[in-house]
Amino acid sequence: MVAENIQNIRENIAKTCFRLGRDPQSVELIAVSKTFGSHHINEALASGIHDFGENYVQELLEKKAGLEGKNVRWHFIGHLQSNKIKYLIDWIYLIQSVDSESVAAEIQKRAQSADKTMNVLVEVNTSEEATKFGVKPNAALGLIKKIALYPNINLKGLMTIGPFTDTKDESRDAFKLLRTIFEEANRSGFLKGPMTILSMGMTHDYEIAIEEGSTMIRIGTAIFGSRTQQ
Ligand SMILES: *Cc1c(COP(=O)(O)O)cnc(C)c1O
């Protein structure tokens, strides 16, 4: 089932990109494996997926241990507490959910001690839903500017979770807003180098996100099925 689901999503990405005149390779597919175990992850690996997203540090540490030696790049996409960063810093591929100065400062400190540069995205709460994490859109540039000054952080782009709605216009507005902030930051001259990743689009809205310029979609349900918890 997982293989078939991945095949369907790849076809949808290709169709959407074809319609837009975009290269399908310009959209990276991240499998969001939260609540699913190594059996599911191995199925996705067999279909050629190597990027996996997780929301909880403890769950991620357990899964990582069970998949040691496999060719997996782990993305952290959940709300990150400063005191958990030390568990991730040595091996996580991309932290997608940086939304405060304090989290960024802790990443800088830990990355410096580990003598490495950490790849991050800034998460923006584009729909301003109170239940969501992410920096507010009007504070995003300020945070991006501060993060750009940290020598051990490589700011690769922005991430957002679209609104929990079936109204396509609302999703589109949120993605347009993220792209506007992205372009503004890239034009600003205060980044070390241009950001390249726009991480937006989930099961219910990834085609709209691709239309609005997404370069990375994070898909859980459409790959692994619906989650019973969380
Ligand atoms: C759970 C989650 C996803 C995947 O959501 P689906 O709707 O199952 O595709 C993507 N991004 C984040 C940040 C998530 O928490």
CATH classification at residue 6: 3.20.20.10
Residue 48 domain-assigned (yes or no)? yes
Expressed in angstroms and rounded, the spacing between residue 143 Cα and the centre of ligand 1 is 24
| Cβ 41 vs Cβ 33: under 8 Å | yes
Q: Tell me how far CA of residue 64 lies from CA of 38, 77, 229, in angstroms.
A: 9, 15, 20
> Which atom of ligand 1 is the closest one to the Cα of 202?
9
Structure token pair of residue 185 = 């930051």
Residue 124 domain-assigned (yes or no)? yes
Expressed in angstroms and rounded, the spacing between residue 7 Cα and the centre of ligand 1 is 19
Q: How many structural domains is the chain composed of? A: 1
Residue 229 domain-assigned (yes or no)? no
Checking if the pLDDT of 165 tops 90, the result is: no
d(CA 67, CA 69): 6
Identify the three-state secondary structure at position 191. coil
Residue 214 domain-assigned (yes or no)? yes
> What mean pLDDT value characterizes the chain?
96
Residue 230 domain-assigned (yes or no)? no
pTM of the model: 0.97
Among 218, 223, 224, 226, which residue has the most ligand 1 atoms within 8 Å of its CB, making it the best to mutate?
A: 218
Residue 200 domain-assigned (yes or no)? yes
- If you take atom 12 of ligand 1, which residue's CA is the nearest one? 77
- If you take atom 5 of ligand 1, which residue's CA is the nearest one? 220
Closest CA to 108 of 97, 122, 120: 120
In tens, the pLDDT along 17-73 reads 999 999 999 999 999 999 999 999 999 999 999 999 999 999 999 999 999 999 999
- Amino acid 166: pLDDT: 83
Q: Can you give the residue range of the structural domain that contains 94?
A: 2-224
Main-chain phi, psi angles of 114, to 5 degrees: -85, 0
> Which atom of ligand 1 is the closest one to the Cα of 206?
9
- Amino acid 230: pLDDT: 53
pLDDT band for 229, please (50, 70, 90 cuts).
Answer: low
